[in-house]
Structure 1
Amino acid sequence: MRKVILALSLVALLTTSCGTKKKIAALESKNKEIQDLLNTCTVKLNTCLTEKESMSSQMEFLKKNNSDLINNMGNMTTLSTKGAQNIEKALETIKEKDLKITRMQDALTKKDSVTLALVTSLKSSVGISDPDIEVNVEKGVVFISIADKLLFKSGSYNVSDRAKEVLAKVAKVINDKPTFECMVEGHTDNVPYVGNGVLIDNWDLSVKRSTAIIRVLTKDLGVKPSQLIAAGRGEYIPLVENNSAENRGRNRRTRIVVLPKIDEFYDMIEKEMKKPAKQ
């Protein structure tokens, strides 16, 4: 009986031991699966952490880049505003300069009109048909050139009677322009002057002829002395070469330069400048 009980106990023990081993094996298998899953999750977690760190760096870069872009946009806006202001100022400056140029041109046009009227008056008064009298304009200045044979005898500074007739016409024009000035220039040829000792050379002769004409204009023809300027140019500004009697005759001349007063011309410009801008 005892043997039977012992045998049954042994069978029961063996049966129990086999069941436990199966459970252990199952648990070990399950544990391995869990461990594999844990390892996989760990790898994924580490990958995610790495990606997160990389994305965080990128986010910081993007934030900084965005901030820089915003600042740059602000700077560009400031620069654009300043640029627009500078362009506007430049355009205003150009407009002002254009206006000044236009007004100066208007003043010059008025001056030219005065000069043209003066030339017309001189030509009609003096008698331009006479080939020994020339009236022309050079650089906005009116010149009356009178050949020496109408004014003086050779080597003399005594004004002839015929010259007084011509000078009377010139005086009329000068008297009609009381604000103008006239410079009387004497010119000679290059033949050395031979005189009585009062004059030294052609330069002296040219000046003396100038003052002789001025005396006729002032004393006989009523021109104000304050309007006249005496000048002698001698032989040094010839019209042509002194290589023939004809050419020397052309170079011996008296030139009357009619000059609007410079300060009046500037006053004319100043008045134009002060005019309000045209709308």
Structure 2
Amino acid sequence: MKSVVRILALTIVYATLGSCVSMKKYQELEGKYEELEQENSGLLADLKQYNDENLLLQSELEGLRKKQDETQKEYEKTMAEVVATQKKYDAIKEDYLMLENSSSKSMASNTKRNRELLQRLEERERALAANSKQNQQLAKQLEDQETALNQERSRLEGLLTELNQRSQRINELEGLIAAQDAKMKALKTSISKALTNFEGKGLTVEERNGKVYVSMENKLLFPSGSWAVNTQGKQAVEQLGNVLAQNKDIAVLIEGHTDDDPYGGDDKLNGNWDLSAKRATAIVKILLENSEVEAQNLTAAGRSKFSPVAENNSPENKAKNRRIEVILTPKLDEIAKMLGDI
């Protein structure tokens, strides 16, 4: 169960950080995850309750069987007594006929005695009939209990089958996530090798939380206040595009960032927002013109000064904040579909 929670939580993190997945999609997945966790806890609680009830029913069933055995023994004993009484009755009846022929007085006495014996015999027969009825009731109750147990057993087997199927789908999901992690690590290695000539020039490549972050400071890409990519920056972006073209199932988010200094350049731009967006779009244009990166995998965004990596309190830190970040994310469509099936 802890493995299930860990996998689901990890999956939600993927879904949360994936740029190509909307906030609405994330909230739906998160809600689905919470519903699944509650449903899974409820199923386990129900399973424990049903097991407890099953044990109680088995105990009651054994008690009924024991009581039936005791009643059966009493019934057999009573039948033996009835047979013995019947024999006595037959003997008395024979004596009665003999005495009836010999003496009216003896006949009257024997008649009274016989009537008493007959009355006792009838009482025995009524008791036997009552015991037989009780046995029938116990047998019916036993049959009903066995039917209920069989129905409960079938329901529990269905629950176990469902739990096993969910466990199998979770294992498949875990394998898919592990494969995506390995793929993103390999992608990071490929990008690092392709851009090794630009190390120490304001370029870094990192893998965090299942995503690859390629950060390029503006000194590598743009002149101050401009969104025209220089020759060295264009070369770096083209080499990055060659790697991305080989990974067509990766979503590419290109973010432009500035420091907090007010933009004082071209009057056609509306401050740092427009500048950061223009720079991000310029990177997208190079990727589309000089590599086989698919356009539907690309997203450009301007973040202005609102996502700094350092305090804007020194020229060095401001230079770090003026950057382009290329964020590479595995598409989560297949994972989201598997989550919906669990």
Structure 2 length as normaliser, TM-score? 0.57
Aligned position for 1:233: 303
1:84 aligns with 2:172: no
Distance 1:241 1:258, change over 3 A: same
SS at the partner of 1:164? helix
Q: Compute the displacement of 1:77 (Å).
A: 0.7
Aligned position for 1:198: 268
- The one-letter code sitting in structure 1 at the alignment partner of 2:165 is E
1:214 aligns with 2:287: no
SS at the partner of 2:169? helix
Distance 1:159 1:131, change over 3 A: closer
Aligned counterpart in structure 2 of residue 70 of structure 1, from 132, 139, 143: 139
Alignment of 1:106-255 (within 5 A): 106-127=175-196, 129-130=199-200, 132-219=202-289, 221-224=290-293, 226=295, 227-255=297-325
SS at the partner of 1:100? helix
Q: Compute the displacement of 1:241 (Å).
A: 3.0
- The one-letter code sitting in structure 2 at the alignment partner of 1:138 is R
- Shifted more, 123-132 versus 139-148: the winner is 123-132
Find the aligned partners of 1:253 and 1:152 in 2 and give their Cα distance: 9
- The one-letter code sitting in structure 1 at the alignment partner of 2:151 is K
SS at the partner of 1:230? strand
Name stretches of at least 5 consecutive residues in structure 1 with no aligned partner: 1-33, 274-279
- C-alpha contact (below 8 Å) 1:107/1:268 kept by paired residues: no
Find the aligned partners of 2:203 and 2:153 in 1 and give their Cα distance: 62
SS at the partner of 2:224? coil
SS at the partner of 2:276? helix
- The one-letter code sitting in structure 1 at the alignment partner of 2:167 is D
- C-alpha contact (below 8 Å) 1:167/1:217 kept by paired residues: yes
SS at the partner of 1:91? helix
SS at the partner of 2:265? coil
How many residue pairs were aligned? 232
SS at the partner of 2:207? strand
Find the aligned partners of 2:136 and 2:336 in 1 and give their Cα distance: 62
Deviations 1:1-43 (A, max 9, x none): xxxxxxxxxxxxxxxxxxxxxxxxxxxxxxxxx9xxx8xxx9x
Q: Compute the displacement of 1:211 (Å).
A: 1.3
- C-alpha contact (below 8 Å) 1:183/1:257 kept by paired residues: yes
- The one-letter code sitting in structure 2 at the alignment partner of 1:120 is T
- The one-letter code sitting in structure 2 at the alignment partner of 1:102 is N
Name stretches of at least 5 consecutive residues in structure 2 with no aligned partner: 1-105
Greater radius of gyration (CA):
1
Aligned counterpart in structure 1 of residue 164 of structure 2, from 80, 92, 95: 95
- Off by >4 Å, runs of 4+ in structure 1: 48-53, 55-61, 265-270
Find the aligned partners of 1:59 and 1:236 in 2 and give their Cα distance: 94
- C-alpha contact (below 8 Å) 2:253/2:298 kept by paired residues: yes
Find the aligned partners of 1:143 and 1:247 in 2 and give their Cα distance: 19
Q: Say what the alpha-carbon RMSD is for the aligned residues.
A: 3.5
- C-alpha contact (below 8 Å) 1:107/1:269 kept by paired residues: no
Q: State the identity %.
A: 29
Find the aligned partners of 1:51 and 1:240 in 2 and give their Cα distance: 107
Structure 1 length as normaliser, TM-score? 0.69
- Shifted more, 119-128 versus 78-87: the winner is 119-128
Distance 1:162 1:70, change over 3 A: same
SS at the partner of 1:184? strand
Find the aligned partners of 1:129 and 1:151 in 2 and give their Cα distance: 14
Find the aligned partners of 1:154 and 1:192 in 2 and give their Cα distance: 13
- C-alpha contact (below 8 Å) 2:176/2:335 kept by paired residues: no
Deviations 1:215-238 (A, max 9, x none): 23333x334461432211111222
